[in-house]
Amino acid sequence: RSPAPTKKLSEVDFRSGATLEQLSAQVSELVLLEQGEFGDQTALEVHTAKDFIFNMLGLVQKVDQRLPVANEYLLLSGGAREGVLDLNPEDLGEYAKGADFDLDFTLLVPALKLHDRNQPVTLDMRHSPPCHSWLSLRLCDSSILSRWSVCCQEENGLLA
């Protein structure tokens, strides 16, 4: 006798709570949008949005005086060639592989330069929650450290 048919469980993306069918539908819609040809109007809108972001950050710098004076940004683009299912958002580690997606992304990432010593800023992502990073201020002088003190935590007796 054959076993009773089992009901197929919906696969769920535990980070967002959405089913993979919902995510697949979103990706399909984005792929259709991506395949459309963008004209001069869309390019102008993107350029205007970028200028707005840079102008807004300049105004924030004038008021706050903590952002880097020379704002530099990395424009990162790429695609997710293989989907992943995050099994435990609290403890990132093992992933279950999902369906292949070709979803492009673009990120505007600030490149911080907190001092004039031409030392690169390194981000420590090893022990950080998703979308966060540790930034070491050890090379900075006391005036810079005091400006960033509300964002600092001590690590091994040193400000980090």
Please choose, from the candidates 112, 108, 110, the residue with its C-alpha nearest in 3D space to the C-alpha of residue 136. 112
State phi, psi for 100 to the nearest 5 degrees: -75, 125
pLDDT for the residue 58: 72
Per DSSP, what are the bridge partners of residue 72? 111
> Which three-class secondary structure state does DSSP give residue 145?
helix
Locate the domains of the chain by residue range. Answer: 9-111, 114-160
In this structure, are residues 76 and 109 in contact, taking their beta carbons and an 8 Å threshold? yes
Task: Provide DSSP, 3-64.
Answer: PPPPPPPPPB-TTT--BHHHHHHHHHHHHHHHHSPP-HHHHHHHHHHHHHHHHHHHHHHHHH
pLDDT for the residue 56: 75
State phi, psi for 140 to the nearest 5 degrees: -85, 155
Going from the first residue of the chain to its last (160 residues), give the mean pLDDT of each consecutive group of 10, the final group possibly shorter: 54 60 70 60 69 73 65 52 46 47 50 56 62 61 74 54
> Hey, what amino acid is at 23?
L
Please give the Cα distance from 28 to 101 (Å, whole number): 9
State phi, psi for 128 to the nearest 5 degrees: -105, 150
pLDDT for the residue 82: 43
Q: Which two tokens stand for residue 66?
A: 């903590």
Whole-Å CA distances, 103 to 45, 46, 80, 82, 130: 21, 19, 5, 9, 20
pLDDT for the residue 21: 72
